[in-house]
Structure formats: structure tokens, C-alpha cells
Amino acid sequence: MSLAAEVERLKEERNAVLLAHNYQRPEVQDVADFVGDSLYLSRKARDADRPVIVFAGVRFMAETAKILNPTRRVLLPDLKAGCGLADAITAEQLRTWKAAHPGAVVVAYNNTSADVKAEADYCCTSSNAVKVVEQIPADREVLFLPDMFLGDYVRQKTGRAMHLWVGDCPVHAKLRPEGLARARAAHPGAPVIAHPECGCASAALPHVDRVLSTDGMVRFAEETRAPEVLVATEVGILHRMERLNPATRFTPIDAGAVCPYMKEIDLADVRDSLALDRYEIDVPPATQERARRSLERMVAA
Ligand code: 13P
Ligand code: SF4
């Protein structure tokens, strides 16, 4: 029996739903029940009625799933699937930052640990960060963390003077405006779509047609009639784009933009996760309690 068939069989046996992020390996995406961006998958996890959720993504996504649907058993097939951006701030660092800005509203990107979310007022993802920040009364001071490029982009779109934590994603920070401008010059006429975590996303705006979350990029890819599109994000997303629109060529701005954390999970890990019931992601109940309000605001926005 093929690995994919084993996964299908085990999903039924365990009564499990398999969620996969757009950056996962193609063979993992192909056996998932739902593939999407971090907001879409958070909502799917919140609404999951099966007792087991296998999260083919990274740890913070599995923690979010647990907090939003605490009676489910949440499995992450490889514990090395972390996130360099989520590691950019600890709860202790956030408490110190908050103490320096009493009364400020804290907006945490979903790419943070559960302990950090427990200190936040709002969570957001790349697809609703602008919308979330727009909900905050204009007279309130805002601390935005941990991605300074996403934060700067949101600051530009909303006109809000937010304080930004100086953190970045090691994969996207390398995708800089100069590289985007070079690619654009080398592929005249091809639209450029970029993720807001890209290095200095707001400075890159003149070289970019659309700044979008990963699902926003997939939707653009599906609908475009352009012969070629330049894509500035992690290259795992190209699989879905090529499947959804074989008539367009999707060219990565940097073919080396590979997230090592997102590639930790392979099909054998998914099979073993289901067969051996590993690795359970749990979040202490007190942390869940404190993080839930900000996450509920995220999935509602
Ligand atoms: P999305 O919110 O667009 O899925 O991005 C998540 C992520 O980890 C990007 O690096
Ligand atoms: Fe984290 Fe960056 Fe990887 Fe996304 S691409 S999971 S932000 S390290």
C-alpha cells in the first residue's frame, strides 16, 4: 500500500482531519483534507468536529488549533517544526515591553508562542492584520509584534503610529525590494505578488502589484490570465498555484526561499503521527484561557 493510501486509511480509522499549510511539501498537501493559510486553517481547526486534528504546519499553528478547539487531540507530526519568527519574542520580553507602555493595546501575529498570545489583546494573521488594527480605537497606543515588516506594511496601510517589535522571518526577510526590482526588470509585464513578511514589504510596494497572504496569493494565481506571475514568498506555495492554473508560469523571485521548519514534516511523519498518536500538542489550561480571547478576535475578523 502506498504511503498516501496508508494515510487515507489511518485518517478514517482515527477519525482525524488533516490540515496542511500552503508551504507544506506537495505530497503532504495532496493527502490533506484542507490546505490553506494560517487564518483559514485556524478556522477549520476551530470548527473541526472530528476528535483528532493532525496539523501539517508549524507548532504555533497547532497550539492555536488546541486553544480554539480544546477538546480535540491536536497532533504535530514532527516537533522540530517550529518557526524562526515565533522565536523572535518571548512572553518575558513582551511583559517588559508592555511595562514600558502601560495601557497600550498588544497585537500579536499568529506566528507567536501560546505564552506570548496569552499576553496579547488581539491576534491577527497576514490576511487580516490591517482589519484587526482598524478595529482598535484611534486614541490607543499599539504594540505590534513580532514581524517588523508586516507591522510596517500595516502601519502604512492604516496610517496608525504603532510601535513595532524588531523581529523578522528568516525566509522572507531575504526577499528585498532590490531583488523584486531586478526580477521585474528581467520579466517585463509579469505581475509581482508578495507576502507582507518580505524584507521591507512597505519599501517594496513600488515593485509589487499585490501584497497578499498565502491564500490571497493562491486566489490571485487561480484567477490571473497573465502568462507569467512572479511570486515573492516560500516556494511551497507554487504547488497549489500550478495545480489551480496550469496555463500560467509561476516564477519564484528566489527559488531558495525554503522554510526549513515547514519542510520538517514528510508523508511518513504524517503516517506515523496517525499510527502512533504523536506528537500531542497541549497548552496549559491557564495559558489557553488567557490566549483564547485574542485568538477568537483573530478568527472573527
Ligand atoms: P499566512 O498567514 O499567509 O499563511 O503565512 C503564515 C506564515 O508562516 C508565513 O510565513
Ligand atoms: Fe515561520 Fe517564516 Fe517559516 Fe513562516 S516562513 S513558518 S514565518 S520561519
Tell whether 201 and 237 lie within a shared domain. yes
- Say how many Å lie between the CA of residue 281 and the centre of ligand 2: 19
Tell whether 184 and 119 lie within a shared domain. no
Tell whether 20 and 66 lie within a shared domain. yes
Q: Which ligand is nearest to the CA of 174?
A: 2
Choose which residue among 21, 34, 38 to substitute to test ligand 1 binding: the one with the highest number of ligand atoms within 8 A of its C-beta: 38
Choose which residue among 21, 61, 126 to substitute to test ligand 1 binding: the one with the highest number of ligand atoms within 8 A of its C-beta: 126
Q: Which of 38-52, 80-94, 176-190, 275-289 is least confident?
A: 176-190
Query: Would 193 be classed as within a structural domain?
Result: yes
Choose which residue among 63, 89, 110, 171 to substitute to test ligand 2 binding: the one with the highest number of ligand atoms within 8 A of its C-beta: 171
Tell whether 164 and 90 lie within a shared domain. yes
d(C-alpha 3, C-alpha 73), whole Å: 23
The DSSP call for residue 140 is S
58 Cβ closer than 6 Å to some ligand 2 atom: yes
138-190 pLDDT per residue, tens? 999 999 999 999 999 999 999 999 999 999 999 999 999 999 999 999 999 99
Tell whether 127 and 71 lie within a shared domain. no
The pLDDT of residue 201 is 74
169 Cβ closer than 6 Å to some ligand 2 atom: yes
Using the predicted structure, report yes or no on whether residue 202 has a pLDDT greater than 90: no
Where is the domain boundary, 110, 137, 170? 170
Using the predicted structure, report yes or no on whether residue 44 has a pLDDT greater than 80: yes
Q: Which of 197-201, 224-228, 232-236 is least confident?
A: 197-201
194 Cβ closer than 6 Å to some ligand 1 atom: no
Query: Would 181 be classed as within a structural domain?
Result: yes
Where is the domain boundary, 153, 170, 187? 170
Please give the mean pLDDT across all residues of the chain.
Answer: 97
- CA 173, 174, 175, 180 dihedral sign is positive
Judge whether 172 and 224 are in contact, CB under 8 Å: no
Query: Would 147 be classed as within a structural domain?
Result: yes
Tell whether 11 and 67 lie within a shared domain. yes
Using the predicted structure, report yes or no on whether residue 71 has a pLDDT greater than 80: yes
Where is the domain boundary, 170, 191, 207? 170
The pLDDT of residue 72 is 98
- Say how many Å lie between the CA of residue 51 and the centre of ligand 2: 28
Tell whether 210 and 281 lie within a shared domain. no
Using the predicted structure, report yes or no on whether residue 200 has a pLDDT greater than 90: no
- Whichever domain contains 285, its CATH number is 3.40.50.10800
Query: Would 179 be classed as within a structural domain?
Result: yes
- Say how many Å lie between the CA of residue 83 and the centre of ligand 2: 5
115 Cβ closer than 6 Å to some ligand 1 atom: no
pLDDT band at 295 (very low <50, low <70, confident <90, very high): very high
The pLDDT of residue 90 is 98
What SS3 state is found at 71?
A: coil
State percent of the chain over pLDDT 70. Answer: 100
d(C-alpha 14, C-alpha 180), whole Å: 45
Tell whether 213 and 246 lie within a shared domain. yes
Tell whether 95 and 77 lie within a shared domain. no
Collect all residues with Cβ–Cβ distance below 8 Å to 208 and sequence separation of at least 6: 180, 192, 193, 194, 201, 232
Query: Would 190 be classed as within a structural domain?
Result: yes
The pLDDT of residue 225 is 97
Q: Which atom of ligand 2 is nearest to the CA of 260?
A: 3
Tell whether 90 and 166 lie within a shared domain. yes
Domain with 92 in it? 86-170
265 Cβ closer than 6 Å to some ligand 2 atom: no
- Say how many Å lie between the CA of residue 196 and the centre of ligand 2: 12
DSSP H helices in the chain = 3-14, 26-31, 38-47, 59-68, 91-100, 114-117, 129-134, 148-158, 177-186, 201-204, 214-223, 238-244, 267-276, 285-300
Shortest-distance Cα residue to atom 6 of ligand 2: 83
pLDDT band at 31 (very low <50, low <70, confident <90, very high): very high
Query: Would 92 be classed as within a structural domain?
Result: yes
The pLDDT of residue 106 is 98
Q: Which ligand is nearest to the CA of 168?
A: 2
Burial of residue 226 (number of CB atoms within 10 Å: 0-12, 13-18, 19+): middle
Domain count, the chain: 3
The per-residue DSSP string of 214-263 comes to HHHHHHHHHH---SEEEEES-GGGHHHHHHH-TTSEEEES-TT---TTTT
Query: Would 273 be classed as within a structural domain?
Result: yes
State percent of the chain over pLDDT 90. Answer: 96
Tell whether 291 and 244 lie within a shared domain. no
The pLDDT of residue 205 is 81
Tell whether 149 and 120 lie within a shared domain. yes
pLDDT band at 46 (very low <50, low <70, confident <90, very high): very high
Shortest-distance Cα residue to atom 3 of ligand 2: 259
111 Cβ closer than 6 Å to some ligand 1 atom: yes
The pLDDT of residue 152 is 95
Query: Would 257 be classed as within a structural domain?
Result: no
Average pLDDT score over residue span 213-241? 97
